[in-house]
Amino acid sequence: MEIKDIKAELTLADILRYYGLKPDKSMRLNCPFHEDKTPSMQVYHKTHTCYCFSSNCPTHGRSLDVIDFIMHKERCSKGEAIKKAKDLLSGSAPKPTIPQQVARTAVLTNMFTYFKNAVHNSKPARDYIEQRGLDYTKLEIGYNTGQFHHGERKDEALIQSCLKVGLLSPFGSNTRTGGQAYKPFAKYCLAFALRNRSGQVTGMYFRSTVNEDNQKHYYLKESSGLYPHYPKAETEKLIIGESIIDTATLLQIEAISKEYSLLAAYGTNRLTPEHIEAIRELKDLKEIIFAFDNDEAGNKAAEKYAAQLRELLPHITFSKLELPCKDVNETAQAHQHEIFHHLLESRTFIFSTGGEPQKETGIPVEKEKSQPEASGLNTRNPFKIGYKTATANYYIQGGVSKQLDSMKVTLVIEHPEISYKTRNKLDLYEDKQVEKLCKEVAEKLNLRKDLLEADIYKLTDLLDEFREQELLSASNNREDSEELIIPLTVQERQQIKFFGKKENLINNLNELLGKAGIVGEEKNRIFLLIIAASYKMPETLHALIQGSSGSGKTRLLKQISDCIPKERVTKLTRVSDKVLYNYPEKYFINRLLCLEDIDGLSEEAEFAFRELQSNGELNSATSSKLENGQIIAGQKTVKGPIASLACTTRGEIYEDNMSRCFLVSVDESAEQTKRVITYQNNRAAGGIQEEEEQKAKHFIQRFIRELKPFKVVNPYANKIHLPEEAHKIRRLNDLFQSFVKMVTVLNQYQRKKDDKQRLITEIADIETAVEIMFESIVLKVDELDGSLRQFYEKLKSHIGKKSRNYEFTRFEVREATGLGKTQQHHYINQLIEVEYLQQYGFANRGFRYKIVHWDNYTAMRERIKRSLQNQLETIKSEHQRTPAERQK
């Protein structure tokens, strides 16, 4: 028999089976020709060859066929290897002598590899792993079916090794053959490896997938080691989970595993000496965070271990996570992974030296735009994706195309040692192009063609995975976003409930707004907060903040929006014509939309904004082209409702908007200016504590986040009437009733409910609404807008001291009001247009002005106020009368 006949009949799979070697799912195995901790030998069943990529291997640089493999394995000559191959084909070759006592770590490593491969072949295991919210592609998880010693896998050396480490135990006799039977340890369990300081598998933990009532946790006898491994020496922040499942849950979250080291305790009573010694060796450690169960046992264990470790490490800070569910794994199943960012931010410090450290963000919030990263690919720069092997270095210039029917790339192949490169454009889905390229590159760079092909096929698979992840990520970003659930601790909920039950809740909220940095504007700030908080309701409210340039209207809007839960706020500086029509359908549902300058909106954008306010949705008909070229009509919908805040310097021109909104005029008085300047000076001098302002904002956010959008019934709705001369009284009355409902909702902890679980409005709610809304009601009645009215009142006050018939110039106006020329010109022209002023003279000699309409603004305010107060008094008196008196 010639050599070519031997190679044709004897497969590499036969050789590996003969020597008891089994590659993993990626056709890799620990090289048998040198000490190999991680698989470095690649098996190619198609060509019946293998190649070791480790430079420590005596075979490195050479591809081995079946005869070469036998020669190196038996350490014999080529002739002896050929003879051995013939014996294998004829079946006369003796079985290789395998040591009976294999090292424990080697046995556990091989068995754990077997368990990991079993996950891919077991749908029940994959279903259970998915049910627990774990990802077996990111974690090292095995599955023990208890079949590893059956059938073709039956091997006496394997059985003896498993008996020794405890994976098998004698169990009667085999009824079929009469031989010894064995009982597998932890059958139908997930397997997790415990590793020693060198990263070797020295123990295993098993979690039952079928038994949830009785025993479900198993540890292999004589197990040692830590999960997932010993912490790195440079660890600064360490999270200790109560269980291995909890720790694995956090380990698969990339943002956490990059920022923190993780370590699993083995229950509330098993923080072993090995754990403690590993922690003591961390010289750079600054903080230990306990992620134990949210129950009495978990809380006690966290405090016990914190006290124990504090004696050994007095300089360390200790804290714990306040979980909204029972444990970390349940929390991950019930929420998105982003919840752990908020839990780490709000973690509770058990005790610390020198005061609590400044709370940092628990998970870094996208310092860079994170890219999906497939294993083995360097995708930090998505426009230059890297992939390195022992054969060559590969770079994808310009990224990967998004068309799924091809993989057109610009591929740079670099020799790993001499840095020679080739650059080519090709479609990786075209095998002929790949084979041709590999042949040309092999000749040019003096590399092996078969290894280049293997690398490029592997690279293609990785790029497929990367592209799929990237497209899914982009798709998820475009999908309608759900409200991010930000959990509150029990203590925070109790604080909010206590705050909500206090008397004068609205006044207390107003004081908090002052502590949050909103200076003055006492009526406006609470008015705007209630309007902004209406985003939670089916009937939302809107405000148009009016003021001259530099009056602080945009700052007021920003400060109010900062007190609303940030996940429900959209702040825009500029809005293009069609952009509101192109948002995802459900993006604006129960959201606060803030426009910093409505004056910059085009007519089309302004129309869309108005419709979103009034109708609660936008419907637009569009044309789209099918793949066959046919053009069809389609409809795109953007749903609300939204609450909105917007700023303007020209309130008088927004006739359509004014009827939909509450008008809020900022305080431009000299007293308010002094208050603002004093605040600015104190802040610059360090007299203002920014932390206290942030604390107040966060408390208001939590309070609003916890509000429930109850339906409200107002038994006094027919008893109060607004001034009939108000601008578009129908809409104003509707806005007023909605505002009363919002005041009732804010007081929900103090209000009764009817049999339909609707909150019942009380007279105090109407009083509060009237008091807060009064200025807005007056603005609806007044012919002049807020800024113009303030200017006109200053002008009347100045001229009234002289004479009602006094004629004045613009210089006198500037001197009296302190306004600049442009703003003064704008206001005077408006007053002339509405015939409040009369202009005399000529342009070349200068104009003079005279007030011709001396309206009594103060009297109008008093009349409206008196009317509303009289109605409230009537309601109170009727409410105090007995039912019999009411019938009379």
Sign of CA dihedral 484, 487, 493, 495: negative
Would you state the structure tokens that stand for residue 767, as one six-digit string? 């009083």
The answer to whether residue 888 scores a pLDDT higher than 50 is no
Q: Which of 76-90, 661-675, 855-869 has the lowest mean pLDDT?
A: 855-869
| Contact between residue 306 and residue 238 where contact means Cβ atoms under 8 Å apart | no
Domain match, 533 and 553 both: yes
Q: Which domain holds residue 283?
A: 227-364
Q: Residue 811 has what pLDDT?
A: 84
Domain match, 588 and 533 both: yes
Domain match, 272 and 283 both: yes
Confidence of residue 547 (pLDDT cuts 50, 70, 90): confident
The answer to whether residue 360 scores a pLDDT higher than 60 is no
Q: Residue 734 has what pLDDT?
A: 86
Say which CATH number the domain at 48 has: 3.90.580.10
Q: Mind listing the pLDDT tens digit for each residue in 413-445?
A: 998 887 788 999 999 999 999 999 999 998 888
Confidence of residue 365 (pLDDT cuts 50, 70, 90): very low
The answer to whether residue 636 scores a pLDDT higher than 50 is yes
Confidence of residue 655 (pLDDT cuts 50, 70, 90): low
Say which CATH number the domain at 325 has: 3.40.1360.10
Averaged pLDDT for residues 274-286:
91
| Contact between residue 319 and residue 350 where contact means Cβ atoms under 8 Å apart | yes
Is 489 within the bounds of a domain? no
How many domains does one find in the chain?
6
Residue 223, helix vs strand vs coil: coil
Q: Residue 356 has what pLDDT?
A: 44
Is 717 within the bounds of a domain? no
Q: Residue 60 has what pLDDT?
A: 85
**Residue where a domain terminates, one of 206, 225, 244:** 225
The answer to whether residue 95 scores a pLDDT higher than 50 is yes
Is 707 within the bounds of a domain? no
Domain match, 148 and 260 both: no
**Residue where a domain terminates, one of 225, 251, 279:** 225
∠ at Cα 141 (135, 147), nearest 5°? 130
Residue 344, helix vs strand vs coil: helix
Is 530 within the bounds of a domain? yes
Q: Which of 26-35, 250-259, 566-575, 627-636 has the lowest mean pLDDT?
A: 627-636
Domain match, 23 and 149 both: no
Q: Residue 321 has what pLDDT?
A: 92
Averaged pLDDT for residues 689-704:
91
Say which CATH number the domain at 126 has: 3.90.980.10
Is 885 within the bounds of a domain? no
Confidence of residue 379 (pLDDT cuts 50, 70, 90): confident
Q: Residue 562 has what pLDDT?
A: 93
How far apart are the C-alpha atoms of 650 and 817, rounded to whole Å? 19
Would you state the structure tokens that stand for residue 855, as one six-digit string? 């309206």
The answer to whether residue 43 scores a pLDDT higher than 70 is yes
543 contacts: CB under 8 Å, gap ≥ 6: 527, 528, 531, 532, 644, 645, 646, 661, 662, 663, 664
Is 493 within the bounds of a domain? no
Averaged pLDDT for residues 268-296:
90
Domain match, 239 and 207 both: no
How far apart are the C-alpha atoms of 92 and 86, rounded to whole Å? 9
- What is the average pLDDT score of the chain? 84
| Contact between residue 115 and residue 36 where contact means Cβ atoms under 8 Å apart | no
Residue 658, helix vs strand vs coil: helix
Domain match, 191 and 133 both: yes
Tokens 């896998």 correspond to 153
Tokens 């028999």 correspond to 1
Q: Residue 448 has what pLDDT?
A: 87
Domain match, 324 and 473 both: no
Confidence of residue 96 (pLDDT cuts 50, 70, 90): low
| Contact between residue 589 and residue 641 where contact means Cβ atoms under 8 Å apart | yes
Domain match, 219 and 134 both: yes
How far apart are the C-alpha atoms of 450 and 392, rounded to whole Å? 12
Q: Residue 182 has what pLDDT?
A: 84
Q: Residue 747 has what pLDDT?
A: 93
How far apart are the C-alpha atoms of 608 and 436, rounded to whole Å? 57
Q: Residue 229 has what pLDDT?
A: 92
Domain match, 151 and 268 both: no
List, as one string, the DSSP characters of 596-617. Answer: S-GGG--HHHHHHHHHHHHTSE
Say which CATH number the domain at 633 has: 3.40.50.300
Give the residue with greater pLDDT, 102 vs 101: 102
The answer to whether residue 353 scores a pLDDT higher than 80 is no
Q: Among residues of the chain, what percentage have pLDDT more than 90?
A: 30
Q: Among residues of the chain, what percentage have pLDDT more than 70?
A: 90
Runs of H (alpha helix) within 709-842: 729-746, 763-781, 786-800, 810-817, 821-833
Q: Environment class of residue 217 by beta-carbon count within 10 Å: exposed (0-12), middle (13-18) or buried (19+)? A: middle
Q: Residue 591 has what pLDDT?
A: 93
Is 504 within the bounds of a domain? no
Count of CB atoms situated within 10 Å of the CB of 796: 16
Q: Mind listing the pLDDT tens digit for each residue in 741-796?
A: 999 999 999 999 998 889 999 999 999 998 988 887 777 777 677 677 888 888 88
Is 300 within the bounds of a domain? yes
Domain match, 149 and 233 both: no
Q: Residue 362 has what pLDDT?
A: 43
Confidence of residue 842 (pLDDT cuts 50, 70, 90): confident
**Residue where a domain terminates, one of 307, 339, 364:** 364
Averaged pLDDT for residues 701-715:
92
Q: Residue 528 has what pLDDT?
A: 94
Give the residue with greater pLDDT, 636 vs 417: 636
Domain match, 322 and 205 both: no
